[in-house]
């Protein structure tokens, strides 16, 4: 009987093994999780869970009993130390498991601040796993002083939650503006104003020289020589694909585990999906770091393991919650050359164009704009920029054009 092993118990791994059973695969399935808990949602960790509005059990994607009921062997807290491609085996803890097909759903790991500048001091945190947030929860309380390093979505979400809990927050970003890597200046301006209105001290274009303290962090010194006192630090400086195990096994790795359009690696019996995978899309190799991608790509890989033969053509979408603002993003803005702003005040949308082609939409508290933009992009329709900018335009009519 065929055996499929999946390494990595995040959203991608959980979605893949569930899809295998749903698609009728009746062979053996093993899901190996590095953590001691069943696969869980990550987005609520830094929001509802950190705020104390969601307990741990509600984070779980499925109850642990689901895996037993579906005949899926769930191995929790087991490190995978080696993949032997010649014998088609995986060493997991004390066990050696055979596979016919292997899925790498290892996800990503947070970048940490270098130890040379104080990154190893007590009180310096990252926000990625349940364990990370459990360590952070006791210190995020009223009256504390926090430094958030990094002005991407991770850092901004951490700043919003900490501020809501009564923490005094300073956020430092080395780039000239927050969200510079992922969003237009208009979106940066919107979220800068939002955080400033909530009392966050935002310092852009400024590097962190070092963290201060002997054993525990007590302060920070910046590139301009200024210093602040802090009680804890959150590093929100991005993530990297967890491709070390694949690389050690001789699978091709290049800013992620390289896969073809169907999710197959350089080894025909090894597949990859989710944050760890880099795949071809419209002439480029890309990685997508999102829940939606983890689900969609892993389900396609499961189907292809069973002979589906389909190429992956993602329709990207993302979201971020900060204070009372819900940001919804449709499409990818790579290569945009202009941005059209629609709406004013709290509800506004930014429409990204490359020439006359609509690429993406950032919608802040504007679900209607998001929905219409998403459908237009998926249909390959590009209304004129002037039409989008015109406040009298019937947006729904654009879907019928």
Instruction: Give the 3-state DSSP-derived string for 222-289, with helices as H, strands as E and coil as C.
Output: ECCCCEEECCEEEECCCEEECCHHHHHCCCCECCCEECCCCCECCCCCEEECCCCEEEEECCEEECCC
Asked if 119 and 229 sit in the same domain, the reply is yes
Residue 352 lies in a domain: yes
* Domain range enclosing 217: 112-235
Q: Please, are residues 117 and 235 in contact by the beta-carbon 8 Å criterion?
A: no
Q: Please, are residues 334 and 359 in contact by the beta-carbon 8 Å criterion?
A: yes
Asked if 129 and 61 sit in the same domain, the reply is no
Residue 191 lies in a domain: yes
| Domain-terminating residue out of 255, 273, 305 | 305
Asked if 162 and 229 sit in the same domain, the reply is yes
Question: What pLDDT, on the 0 to 100 scale, is given for residue 196?
Answer: 98
Question: What pLDDT, on the 0 to 100 scale, is given for residue 346?
Answer: 82
Residue 313 lies in a domain: no
Asked if 292 and 199 sit in the same domain, the reply is no
Give dist(CA 151, CA 232) in Å, integer.
17
Question: Could you tell me the CATH number of the domain that includes residue 350?
Answer: 3.30.390.30
Asked if 128 and 231 sit in the same domain, the reply is yes
Q: How many domains does the chain have?
A: 3
Q: Is the pLDDT of residue 322 over 90?
A: yes
Asked if 206 and 135 sit in the same domain, the reply is yes
Give dist(CA 229, CA 194) in Å, integer.
24
| Domain-terminating residue out of 235, 267, 296 | 235
Residue 319 lies in a domain: no
Average pLDDT of the residues in 260-281: 97
Residue 270 lies in a domain: yes
Asked if 116 and 231 sit in the same domain, the reply is yes
Report the mean per-residue pLDDT for the chain: 96
Residue 295 lies in a domain: yes
Asked if 79 and 117 sit in the same domain, the reply is no
Asked if 341 and 259 sit in the same domain, the reply is no
Asked if 219 and 259 sit in the same domain, the reply is no
Give per-residue pLDDT as tens, 81-114.
Answer: 999 999 999 999 999 999 999 999 999 999 999 9
Q: Is the pLDDT of residue 1 over 80?
A: no
Asked if 335 and 362 sit in the same domain, the reply is yes
343: number of Cβ within 10 Å: 16
Average pLDDT of the residues in 381-387: 94
| Domain-terminating residue out of 184, 216, 235 | 235
Average pLDDT of the residues in 134-149: 96
The model's pTM = 0.94
Q: Please, are residues 257 and 237 in contact by the beta-carbon 8 Å criterion?
A: no
Q: Is the pLDDT of residue 344 over 90?
A: no
Give dist(CA 234, CA 398) in Å, integer.
43
Instruction: Give which of 109, 113, 169 is closest to 142, Cα–Cα.
Output: 169
Question: What pLDDT, on the 0 to 100 scale, is given for residue 289?
Answer: 93
Question: Could you tell me the CATH number of the domain that includes residue 64?
Answer: 3.50.50.60
Using DSSP, state whether 73 is helix, strand or coil. strand
Give dist(CA 203, CA 219) in Å, integer.
16
Asked if 105 and 116 sit in the same domain, the reply is no
pLDDT confidence bin for 280, thresholds 50/70/90:
very high
Q: Is the pLDDT of residue 282 over 90?
A: no
């Amino acid at each position: 009987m065929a055996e499929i092993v999946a390494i990595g118990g995040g959203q991608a791994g959980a979605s893949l093994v569930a899809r295998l059973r749903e698609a009728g695969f009746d062979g053996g399935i093993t899901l190996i999780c590095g953590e001691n808990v069943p696969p869980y949602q990550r987005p609520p960790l830094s929001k509802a869970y950190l705020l104390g509005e969601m307990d741990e059990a509600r984070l779980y994607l499925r109850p642990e009993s689901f895996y037993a009921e579906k005949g899926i062997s769930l191995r929790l807290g087991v490190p995978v130390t080696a993949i032997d491609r010649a014998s088609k085996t995986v060493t997991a803890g004390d066990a050696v498991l055979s596979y016919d097909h292997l899925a790498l759903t290892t996800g990503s790991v947070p970048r940490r601040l270098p130890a040379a500048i104080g990154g190893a001091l007590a009180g310096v945190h990252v926000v990625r796993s349940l364990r990370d947030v459990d360590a952070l929860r006791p210190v995020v309380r009223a009256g504390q002083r926090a430094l958030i390093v990094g002005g991407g979505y991770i850092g901004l979400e951490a700043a919003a939650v900490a501020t809501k809990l009564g923490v005094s927050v300073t956020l430092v970003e080395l780039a000239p503006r927050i969200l510079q890597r992922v969003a237009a200046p208009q979106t940066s301006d919107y979220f800068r104003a939002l955080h400033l209105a909530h009392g966050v001290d935002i310092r852009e274009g400024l590097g962190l020289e070092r963290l201060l303290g002997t054993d525990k962090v007590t302060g920070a010194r910046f590139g301009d020589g200024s210093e602040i006192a802090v009680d804890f630090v959150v590093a929100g400086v991005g993530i990297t694909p967890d491709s070390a195990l694949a690389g050690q096994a001789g699978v091709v790795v290049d800013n992620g585990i390289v896969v073809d359009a169907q999710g197959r690696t350089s080894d025909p019996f090894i597949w990859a999906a989710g944050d760890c995978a880099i795949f071809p899309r419209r002439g480029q190799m890309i990685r997508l770091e999102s829940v939606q991608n983890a689900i969609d790509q892993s389900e396609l890989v499961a189907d292809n393991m069973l002979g589906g033969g389909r190429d992956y053509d993602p329709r990207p979408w993302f979201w971020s919650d900060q204070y009372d603002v819900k940001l919804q993003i449709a499409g990818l803005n790579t290569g945009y050359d202009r941005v059209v702003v629609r709406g004013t005040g709290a509800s506004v949308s930014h429409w990204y164009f490359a020439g006359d082609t609509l690429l993406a939409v950032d919608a802040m508290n504007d679900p209607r704009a998001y929905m219409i933009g998403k459908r237009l992009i998926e249909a390959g329709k590009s209304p004129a920029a002037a039409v989008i900018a015109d406040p009298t335009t019937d947006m729904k009519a654009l879907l019928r054009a």
